[in-house]
A and B are shown apart, each in its own frame.
Chain A
Amino acid sequence: MTPGLIYAVTGCLLFVLGLGGVLLLKALLRRILAFNLMGSGAFLVLVGLAQRDGTPDPVPQAMVLTGIVVAVAATALALTLARRWHALTGREDIARVGDAGSRKRGRQSERRNTPR
């Protein structure tokens, strides 16, 4: 097992771990972190698989460098939206589709009654 293949296997496990986080965690911040973990896993697979025969390949490395910066941008935007969501609704997680409307309405009326 070459080091490149070990990187790729680790990347796969990180990806699945991140996917589990996105599916199972409720808090938005944790979900964003888990999504980042998925991205890191994908980057590791890309770089690791390309050098599994021992010679590093500059093309995937450049692609991953691009990907990392885009991931930072996406994370910053996601964090902004999460904070905005928190400021508007006071929630740190996204309600389930079924009861989103009723809960939100309840919270808003609650808010209207409290003096600011």
Chain B
Amino acid sequence: MKRLVRWLTVLALSGLAGALLLAIAGLPPAPVRLAGEVAGNLAASGVSHPVTAVLLNFRGYDTFLEVAVLIIALLGMLAAGLPPPPPTGSRNAMLPTLARLAVPLMVLAATYLLWAGAFRPGGAFQAAAVLAAAAVLLHLAEIQAPWPQHARGPRLAIAGGFLLFLAIAAALLVNGGLLRYPPEQAGLLIVLIESGLTVSLAVNLAAFFLLRSSSENGQILRSTAKMGEKP
């Protein structure tokens, strides 16, 4: 019976794949050329790279809500708590040395990515990903402590980038539209938002990994686990 259900599922999935491929093959060309629209309005966006222009100007509210989603996910993780990690015990002498060499270069690369985002591929997200990777590397090399449970700094950094974005969005509401930048200040505002976002996203992404090994969280979890077991 189980085997039959399995085969039927595989059969249905094959059918779905075929239907999707047929749908793609028969798709008419798009009625609106968005690429042309973007290219036409690029001069007014404040940046010269089309993807950055879409991310932070034309569809800025998507990016804004995305940062909010990240913070909500982090809140969910903080609320759920994590068990303490198993002791690793295997400490490699190469790793801390390599991390000490690599992390300054990663910070440099992140800064470059942030700056380059205005006119070539790059931007806040890529820069934040590199910074977060640096934090993870430091943690794996046991140079950086796990997520500091009661420290204000990381929380302020995460909230700061989002609040900066929110403040700019709220201030721009007087222009009569959400995130409608005045063209002459657009470049400056985008750089300001991107810098705030880089710090906020980097700490947020790093927290996704570092929260994995917060021992205090583990204690919380163990106590709630005991409570949950009471009949």
Contact = CB atoms under 8 A, between A and B. Distances in A.
Contacts of A70: 66, 69-70
Nearest to A108: B229
A3 interface: no
Interface string A55-95: 11111111101100110111011001101101110000000
B111 interface: no
A41 B211 CA distance: 28
A36 B92 CA distance: 32
Contacts of B34: 50, 57-60
A8 interface: yes
Contacts of B228: 88
Interface size class of A (residues with CB under 8 A): 35 or more
B170 to A, nearest CB: 21
Contact of B229 (A62, A63, A112): A112
A76 B77 contact: yes
B205 interface: yes
B59 A59 contact: yes
23 contacts: A9-B21, A16-B13, A16-B20, A20-B13, A24-B6, A49-B24, A49-B27, A50-B30, A53-B29, A61-B51, A62-B51, A62-B59, A65-B51, A66-B66, A69-B125, A72-B208, A76-B209, A77-B76, A80-B77, A81-B80, A87-B83, A87-B221, A112-B229
Interface of B: 6, 9-10, 13-14, 16-17, 20-21, 24-25, 27, 29-30, 34-35, 38, 50-51, 53-55, 58-59, 62-63, 66, 69-70, 72-74, 76-77, 80-83, 125, 201, 205, 208-209, 211, 221, 225, 228-229
